[in-house]
């Protein structure tokens, strides 16, 4: 686990006990308990926030995103890469606009949605209680535990057409299971993966990478941000005989890298 992830876990464990009565488990964002603090009306910042901003307003958003099962990284009041990934995931779940000019801006619509957020669309209505759903139409991953979202992440799936590499890079829809986990950086024919959790042989995986852009840009795998990839595998059961955590992939990526 990365140092920043450990610090985030420690900080949110303490804050969770004081703010909404929940502690962090080793390896993933906490399940926020349904306490009076959680049900109380959230008061969002009164102004737009931008990547690079610092201060109490950013910290407020980070706390709220954590409460809603997103992963903004350390609750440090700094709008950096971890928080940006969580902002993208929240926008994708809420159906807020995503484009190259404003995707990282915490707008009025974003702040209003923090008060009354939508839940992720459930792809498998009567699926296993513990599962992973990847919605390519929204570019999000939801890790369920006991039929409740444990963590919601932005992903970058197959980009279809990649600059200087042609077309045909897709992430295949289907029902899979987590087969293998390979720690650290792993070299494969199409590049490198960090902490991959393979679901089709040793070719397709959920894995960390740099970059994980806001649009689909992978060779067919499911990219997640590096800090999330540092602990994601801890919440996944891998089994090469087919008994691993179920993984469901649905939808069609709405855009590709050549269009941006």
What per-residue confidence (pLDDT) applies to 75?
Answer: 97
What per-residue confidence (pLDDT) applies to 255?
Answer: 59
pLDDT digits (tens, 9 = 90+) for 33-92: 343 344 468 999 999 999 999 999 999 999 999 999 999 999 999 999 999 999 999 999
**Chain position carrying tokens 């390519």:** 136
Rounded to 5°, the CA angle 42-69-141 comes to: 135
**Whether 117 contacts 111, CB under 8 Å:** no
- Examine the pLDDT at 234 and tell me if it is beyond 80: yes
> Token digits for 217?
């840009």
Q: Of residues 10 and 230, which shows the higher confidence score?
A: 230
Domains of the chain (ranges, CATH numbers): 3-115 (1.10.101.10), 131-259 (2.40.440.10)
Residue range 216-234: average pLDDT?
95
Alpha carbon of residue 43 to chain centroid: 24
In angstroms, the CA 167 to CA 213 distance is 18
- Complete DSSP assignment for 121-189: PPSSTT--SSEEEEETTTTEEEEEETTEEEEEEE-B-B-EEETTTEEEE-PPPEEEE--EE--SEEEET
Confidence label for 154 from pLDDT (cuts 50, 70 and 90): very high
pLDDT digits (tens, 9 = 90+) for 106-152: 999 999 999 999 999 999 999 999 999 999 999 999 999 999 999 99
What pTM was estimated for this model as a whole? 0.83
pLDDT digits (tens, 9 = 90+) for 1-49: 444 444 444 444 434 333 333 333 334 544 443 433 444 689 999 999 9
Residue range 89-111: average pLDDT?
94
What per-residue confidence (pLDDT) applies to 175?
Answer: 97
- For 223, the enclosing helix (H) or strand (E) is strand 222-225
């Amino acid at each position: 686990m990365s140092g920043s992830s450990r610090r985030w876990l420690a900080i949110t464990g303490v804050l969770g006990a004081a703010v909404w009565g929940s502690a962090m488990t080793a390896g993933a964002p906490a399940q926020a308990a349904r306490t009076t603090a959680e049900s109380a009306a959230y008061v969002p910042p009164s102004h737009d926030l931008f990547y690079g901003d610092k201060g109490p307003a950013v910290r407020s958003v980070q706390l709220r995103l954590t409460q809603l099962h997103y992963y903004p990284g350390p609750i440090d009041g700094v709008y950096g890469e971890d928080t940006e990934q969580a902002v993208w995931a929240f926008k994708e779940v809420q159906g807020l606009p995503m484009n190259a000019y404003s995707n990282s801006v915490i707008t009025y619509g974003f702040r209003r949605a923090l008060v009354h957020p939508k839940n992720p669309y459930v792809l498998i209505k009567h699926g296993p209680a513990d599962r992973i759903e990847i919605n390519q139409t929204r570019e999000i991953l939801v890790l369920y535990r006991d039929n409740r979202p444990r963590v919601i992440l932005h992903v970058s799936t197959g980009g279809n057409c990649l600059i200087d590499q042609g077309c045909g890079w897709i992430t295949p829809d289907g029902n899979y299971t987590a087969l293998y986990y390979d720690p650290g950086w792993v070299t494969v024919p199409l590049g490198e993966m960090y902490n991959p959790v393979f679901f089709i042989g040793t070719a397709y995986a959920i894995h960390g990478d740099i970059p994980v852009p806001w649009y689909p840009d992978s060779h067919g795998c499911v990219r997640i941000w590096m800090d999330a990839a540092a602990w994601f595998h801890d919440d996944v059961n891998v089994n090469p005989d087919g008994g691993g955590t179920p993984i469901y992939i649905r939808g069609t990526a709405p855009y590709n890298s050549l269009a941006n």
